[in-house]
Structure 1
Amino acid sequence: MTGADSLYYLDAARSPEQRSYMESLEDGGVCIFCPEHVAEYQEHPVEHRGEHWYVTRNSYPYAGTVAHYLIVPLRHVTAFDELPDAAGAELWSLQRVLKDRHAPLATATVMRSGDMRYNGGSVAHLHAHFVILDDAPAETVRFKVSA
């Protein structure tokens, strides 16, 4: 399935292993980002939990990053405007915590909102990618943000 009602957009998988994992989760009706599934299905534990979001490391980090975090809303939503304004303030706070933890030269954040068939996303649960960068990456970090 790759339609608007799917949990995963398989065409956005970045490796055969990731695609296979997404297919198995889709078949089981499991959203990997919903809090009730995190412990069983995510490789990395939750490092921080707030009122609106939790933070975990990405199991499929982008090449060229020093660290790659996912900041995920506790509610299953597909777009940022489905969350209250207070969630936005907490998101800024979480990014500061992660930045301070690493004292990086630079960071980058990408959040895809809405229909993943058009925004380059792979999971139909809103989340932000927060990456830590340094001065000599192994390769250029690339975020896909369109179909």
Structure 2
Amino acid sequence: MSAPEGPLYYLESSRSSEQREYMESLESRGICVFCPENVEEHHGRPIEHRGEHWYVTQNAFPYEGTEAHYLIVPVKHVTSFEELPDEAGAELWAIKRMLRERLAPLATATVERSGDMKYNGGSVAHLHTHFVALSREPTRTIRFKVSAKGTEE
């Protein structure tokens, strides 16, 4: 698969200098880390589950304070939900249920960012869902960035 048009990463949304350098390196080589053919070599975490429309892997840069941080990623390189067929939605729900069962009794949370990374807080131009498990005795608040603009409190 050739690299999609447009920027693959939005560096302003990186959460660490290590993550930013990683994204800069991939961008300079035209590599989308979430396209399935690149995951094994460039993501650093294996694909743990494959479906027709989605695959599951652990996040290489998990949010601080999570017990587990999975990514549910479309097999097809898309940036928005409307680019996927309706059947992909049913498969996504099934994968979320599977992960929830795997992580029980921990509480879970998800977030998806669809569309332009400059505005949605995302860092990779390949749609994906964050699925995190939260500690039973949290020591910090987990925050999902869902906007690239504004200030954090």
Q: Provide TM-score, normalisation by structure 1.
A: 0.95
Distance apart, 1:133 and its partner CA: 1.1
Q: Deviations over 1:39-70 (max 9, x none)?
A: 10011100000000000000100011110000
Structure 1 position 118 matched with structure 2 position 140: no
Alignment of 1:1-147 (within 5 A): 5-147=6-148
> Within 2, Cα distance between the matches of 1:18 and 1:79?
23
Q: Deviations over 1:77-117 (max 9, x none)?
A: 00011000000000000011111111133111100000000
> Within 1, Cα distance between the matches of 2:63 and 2:113?
16
Distance apart, 1:122 and its partner CA: 0.0
CA RMSD of aligned residues (A): 1.0
Q: Which aligned segments of 4 or more residues in structure 1 are displaced greater than 3 angstroms?
A: none
Unaligned runs of 5+ in 2: 149-153
Work out the number of aligned pairs and report it.
144
Query: Is the deviation greater in 99-108 or in 28-37?
Result: 99-108
> Within 2, Cα distance between the matches of 1:134 and 1:108?
11
Distance apart, 1:138 and its partner CA: 2.7
Query: Is the deviation greater in 32-41 or in 98-107?
Result: 98-107
Residue identity over aligned pairs, in percent, reads: 68
